[in-house]
A and B are shown apart, each in its own frame.
Chain A
C-alpha cells in the first residue's frame, strides 16, 4: 500500500487545520452559509435530510486494516455506530455534527485518510478494479497509476474549479470491474504489439441525467507521457466546458457536442503544450510509487490445496460461497474474497462498527492486513490462502456477512435514496431489501444466474441504474414514489445503457414487476448458460414489455 511521505502528511495536516478554522468561523457566524458551503463541500461535508454527511475518500478502494479499524472507531464515536460503503468505493457517515468535524478529520488524518476531493467540481477520488494487484488477468496493477493521478490531481489549482465534477476510473485488466466507460475518463492498461505497457483512454462517459458510454479517444499513451495527455484532456474541457448550464457542464456533453474525433484532435493540439510544461512524472518517481505496490511475498503453495478441496466436498454451502465470492488469485493457493455487504433483506453497503472491526481483524489474520472496497458496495479481502477460506467464511457467518451471492440477483446496488439523501425523489434501500428478500432463496438465485440490479433514488444515478441489467429509478409522481424499470445496462467491458421499458410502478408493485421480468427471462433463455444480459441482447425488450404491460 502507498504510505504517505512528508509532503502528503503536511498537506493533509494543513488542510485539516484550515478547514477546522473555517468550521469555527462558521459556528461563530464569521462565515455565512453561502460562503461556507463551497468550503465544506471541498471537504466532503454535505447536508442530508437528518444531519450532515461526511464522505471519506478511500483512494482506489484500498484500505489497510488499521484504517478500517479507525473508520469503525469513528462510526462509533461520531456517528450512530455504522457507516455506508458507496459506489465510488468511498465511505459515508450519515449522522455527523458540524461542531465535531475538526476532531473527526484529525482522527482520519492520523491514519492517512481525509475527505478531500469527495465533492465539488474537482477531480474526484480515483476508483479502480478492486482486484488490483491480485487478479491473474491484469496487465499492470492499476493502483500505481491511480496513485500517480491522485498525487497529480490533489489540490491541482487548474482543476479545482472545473465546470463540473470529474471522475477517473482505472482497470488493469481487459475484464472491466471498475465500470471505466461510465466515467469522465476511463483508463484501461494495455500492452501494444511491441509488448510495451500503455494506457487506452476513454473520455466522456457518465451516468446521471444523460448517460453516455465513453468513446475511446486514444488507444495507446505511453506511461512516460500519460499525465501530459490527461492534462491536455482536462484543459480542453476546462476551456470549453459549459459553465453556463449545470446540466450541460460535464465533459460527456462537450465530447458529444464536438464529436469524439474533434475532441481528440483538440487534445492532440493541446498536448505539446502540456508536454513542454513538464507535467510528466520522471520514471524514477513512478518507480518510487510502484515500490509501494510490489506484491507481498506469497507462500509457495501447490494447487489443488487438499484441505480446501475437502472443505468444499464436506460443505456444499461453503462450496457455493467459494463459487460466487472467491475470485482467482494470481498466486497459486490463494483467493481474493469478496465479502457480501448484501445480507438477505439487509441494507446494501451498510456495516456496523463491530462488523468493520471484525473485517479488519480478518484482514490482519488472513489477508496480509489489506482490504478493498468495490463499486458494488462490497468489501474484499484480497490475499486469503485457500487453506484459510473455510475459517474466513465461518467467521463471516458470525457477523452476518457470509452470504454467497456476489454477482447474483441479491447483490444489489442501492444508493441512500430518500431515507437519507436531500436530492432524492424516492427511497432506494427498501426496494433493495424487498427484492433481496423476495429472491433470497439461494437455489433460486443460482438458477437465475448472474444478474445485476441497480437502484437509484433520483436521476443523479449514484446507484448506477443505467448500468444495471435491471435498473430501477425512483421518481416522484405527484408526491408519490414511483419506480421506472430499465433493462440491458452493463458496466463492464461491454458497457451499455439500460433502456426504459415503460411507465413506472408504485412501491408496492415494483417487486412483482421485477419478478415478472426475471420469470420472462427464465422462460425464454436458450439454456441455463445463457445469462440474463445475453438473453436480453438476443431478444430485445419486447417480450419483457409484453409481460409487464401486455400486448399493445
Chain B
C-alpha cells in the first residue's frame, strides 16, 4: 500500500553553534522542543517554512535544514522514526534524552 503523504509539517534544523536539534516556532524562534514547532497544513505553508529554513541557513543560524512530516493532531509528533529519535535523543541512552516539550515553568 502506498504511504499517504502527510500534509502536516514542521521545520527543523541543527543550530550552527552547537549542533542542537531545533524546531522553528510560530514566534519566529528556534526551540529545542518539537511540540513548540509551527505546523504547516497546506503545501503553500510548507513552502513558506522551507523558505524560512533556507534563509536561516543562508544567515548562518542553522544547518541541515529540513521540512519534516508530523502526525496531525493536537500534539506535534514526527511520523518517521528518524525524526522521532532526533526529537528526543538516542533510544539507547534515555538518560540523556530531552522531553518533547519544555519542562513546566
List residues of A whose CB falls within 8 A of some B CB: 26-27, 29, 32-33, 47-52, 80, 95-99, 347, 418-420, 422, 424, 427, 429-430, 433, 478-481
Contacts and interface: CB of A to CB of B under 8 A. Distances in A.
A430 B64 CA distance: 26
A433 B14 CA distance: 29
B86 A50 contact: yes
Size class of the contact patch on chain B: 20 to 34
Most chain B CB neighbours (cut-off 10 Å) among A27, A33, A49, A95: A49
Interface stretch (B23-31, B36-44, B45-53, B89-97): B89-97
A27 B17 contact: yes
Nearest to A52: B19
Given A49-B86, A478-B3, A26 B16 contact: yes
Interface in B44-81: 57-60, 63-64, 79-81
Please classify the interface of chain B as helix (H, G, I), strand (E, B), loop, or mixed, using the class held by over half of its residues: loop
30 contacts: A26-B16, A27-B60, A33-B16, A33-B57, A33-B60, A33-B63, A47-B64, A48-B19, A49-B21, A50-B89, A50-B90, A51-B19, A51-B20, A52-B19, A95-B19, A97-B19, A98-B17, A98-B18, A98-B19, A99-B18, A419-B92, A419-B93, A420-B90, A427-B92, A429-B90, A429-B92, A478-B3, A479-B3, A479-B79, A479-B81
A422 B64 contact: yes
B81 A47 contact: no
Contacts of A347: 92-93
A480 B89 CA distance: 18
Interface of B: 3, 14, 16-21, 57-60, 63-64, 79-82, 85-86, 89-93, 96
Contacts of B16: 26-27, 33, 98
Contacts of B90: 50, 419-420, 429
A32 B80 CA distance: 29
Contact of A480 (B19, B21, B81, B96): B81
B18 A97 contact: yes
Nearest to B3: A478
Given A347-B92, A429-B92, 7 more contacts: A26-B16, A26-B60, A50-B20, A418-B82, A424-B82, A429-B90, A480-B81
Contacts of A418: 81-82, 85
Given A420-B90, A429-B92, A51 B18 contact: yes
Contacts of A80: 96
B95 to A, nearest CB: 9
Contact of B17 (A50, A99, A481): A99
B82 A50 contact: no
Nearest to A346: B92
Contact of B19 (A27, A32, A47, A433): A47
A26 B60 CA distance: 8
Contacts of A98: 16-19
A419 B21 contact: no
